[in-house]
Structure 1
Amino acid sequence: MPRFALLVEYHGAPFAGWQRQNDQPSVQGAIEAALAKLEPGEHTIAAAGRTDAGVHAKGQVAHCDLTKDWDPFRLSEALNYHLKPHPVAILNCARVGDDWHARFDATQRRYLFRLISRRAPLTSEAGQMWRVNHVLDAAAMQAGADQLIGAHDFTTFRSSICQAKSPEKTLDVLTVSEIQRPDGVEYQFDVQARSFLHNQVRSFVGTLERVGAGAWRPDDVGAALAAKDRAACGPVCPPQGLYLAEVTYPDDPFAAKA
């Protein structure tokens, strides 16, 4: 059966997350239903990461197996037609080897979190950023973030329902950028690692926001990490503002289509 890699973008607000669920809408379910319109029957796709309810993606990657050897461009066009009106788009499609796997072949995952400081509620960008109405110190947040870089036991920043076998991960990048806007200040958190624990990024951002607000000192982040205790974590920030931005592979399956 021909295997295809799909580059997927979606707005997470209407979904209970990526993973298919019997009684709630999911991104996986929407794509599998679209595939069934092209080739009747049950379809099961696999993704690079299972995003939570309300989390968005600009660079999710999934793979599917089909009976027909579709032209990749025609397959992406047909899927986009049948995905309407869901806020899900297939940005690219590529034929891959039968043993290629969207999750297990990935070598790096990059998440982006957007946080804005402004007094007024969000309107056109509602659901796309986390809004706070107080000023944040980006330098202090970066100083706290620097203490999380490297290989650590991230039990403190791991959800109590995380199913990962080990809390040990290696965090490669956590940078905080400050962007001046006419309506306020946007802070972007660029987070990169081979893999993540459940709620790890949202735990990072929620904790660092406390640092930026002055409620925590930057060194408190290192102390929380060393505690290896979920109770030592700061608040977990809301899913609005979190994006699965990019997934990296040894050989980019979409390189020829870029």
Structure 2
Amino acid sequence: MRMALGVGYNGQGYNGWQSQVSGNTIQDKLEAALSRFATERVSTVCAGRTDTGVHGLMQVVHFDTPLDRLPASWVRGTNTFLPPDIAVQWAQAVPDSFHSRGSAIARRYAYVLLQSPVRPSVEAGRVGWVYHPLDGNAMRAAAEHLLGEHDFTSFRASACQAKSPVKTLRQIRITRRDGTQPPRAPCGPHDWSPCYWRFEFEGNAFLHHMIRNIMGCLIAIGQGKQPPEWMRSVRDALSRDAAAPTFSPDGLYFIGPSYDAAWGLPSHAAAYDWLP
């Protein structure tokens, strides 16, 4: 039987998704918990690897098992053996032709950013932070230069193992929330009022550090250090040296993959609901 799981996790204390000798990764913790519940070795394949410090709202994995257990048993049983910052959200039997990575038609990430004169406290590790105010219109204009199919070499980490730097970005959505009730009108680029920004990215696939490198460029533009057109020149340079420094992983969330509805998999989990 092939099972698919939706998994949510806080990535702060882990060395990313992929298994390592240290054992301190999301995959290592999940496979150890699954193996204890199943009383046999379980190996998983994920929809998209996440880096150190990056969070997951609905990572999807699949694995093969001879056991025939109810989906709810896989959820509750596995969660019994997981640390409190990792939890299986749902489980579902899938056909053998399903592949968590290969069957995905899109992947979505969100970056949550605090704009404030004071660094985060309660949200430390869960949001990025900028001191200077941002110009949302400038960042949205810059993001337009990244939509569609492009060679994203300029936003690719040197350790990236992807076979091709050519990816398709379908959407970059940038919104601002200031926390007042009711929310007041969006402010200009020189407003120092604390607020949260949400950057949402959807694409067919992403390179290693691609979003964090794009975030570095968007923030430079939002702070007026570069014009929106600079994003196009960075894109076309095909050189990592042309882009801004890699931004913090703290506010980056893997929202999850998208699949054809024919697979019948959940598109939403409770882990989504708290995110600004």
SS of the residue aligned with 1:147?
Answer: helix
Kindly provide the amino acid, as one letter, of the partner of residue 13 in structure 2: P
Structure-2 residue corresponding to 1:210: 220
SS of the residue aligned with 1:181?
Answer: coil
Give, in whole Å, the separation in 2 of the partners of 1:253 and 1:200. 30
Match of 1:123 among 121, 124, 140: 121
CA contact (8 A) 2:114 2:120 kept: no
Are 1:92 and 2:80 an aligned pair? no
CA contact (8 A) 2:259 2:265 kept: no
Give, in whole Å, the separation in 2 of the partners of 1:24 and 1:210. 36
Give, in whole Å, the separation in 2 of the partners of 1:217 and 1:119. 23
Point out where structure 2 has 5 or more consecutive residues left out of the alignment.
181-192, 270-276
Aligned alpha-carbon RMSD (Å): 1.6
CA contact (8 A) 1:8 1:92 kept: yes
Are 1:160 and 2:158 an aligned pair? yes
Structure-2 residue corresponding to 1:51: 50
Residue correspondence of structure 1 range 1-258 to structure 2 within 5 A = 2-83=1-82, 85-182=83-180, 184-250=194-260, 251-255=262-266
Q: 1:255: how far off?
A: 4.1
CA contact (8 A) 2:18 2:26 kept: yes
SS of the residue aligned with 1:238?
Answer: coil
Q: 1:86: how far off?
A: 3.9
SS of the residue aligned with 1:224?
Answer: helix
CA contact (8 A) 1:93 1:254 kept: no
Give, in whole Å, the separation in 1 of the partners of 2:85 and 2:267. 26
Once the two structures are superposed, residues 162-217 of structure 1 have per-residue CA deviations (whole angstroms, 9 ceiling, x without a partner) of 11111111110112111112571111111000111111111111110000011111
Identity %: 36
Q: 1:8: how far off?
A: 0.7
CA contact (8 A) 1:47 1:61 kept: yes
Q: How many residues align?
A: 256
Q: 1:81: how far off?
A: 1.1
Kindly provide the amino acid, as one letter, of the partner of residue 136 in structure 1: L
CA contact (8 A) 2:94 2:263 kept: no
**Superposition TM-score, scaled by structure 1 size:** 0.95
CA contact (8 A) 2:23 2:29 kept: no
Once the two structures are superposed, residues 33-82 of structure 1 have per-residue CA deviations (whole angstroms, 9 ceiling, x without a partner) of 11111122322100000100000011110012222111001110111111
Kindly provide the amino acid, as one letter, of the partner of residue 218 in structure 1: P
Distance 1:119 1:257, change over 3 A: closer
Report runs of 4+ in structure 1 exceeding 6 Å deviation.
Answer: none
CA contact (8 A) 2:7 2:88 kept: yes
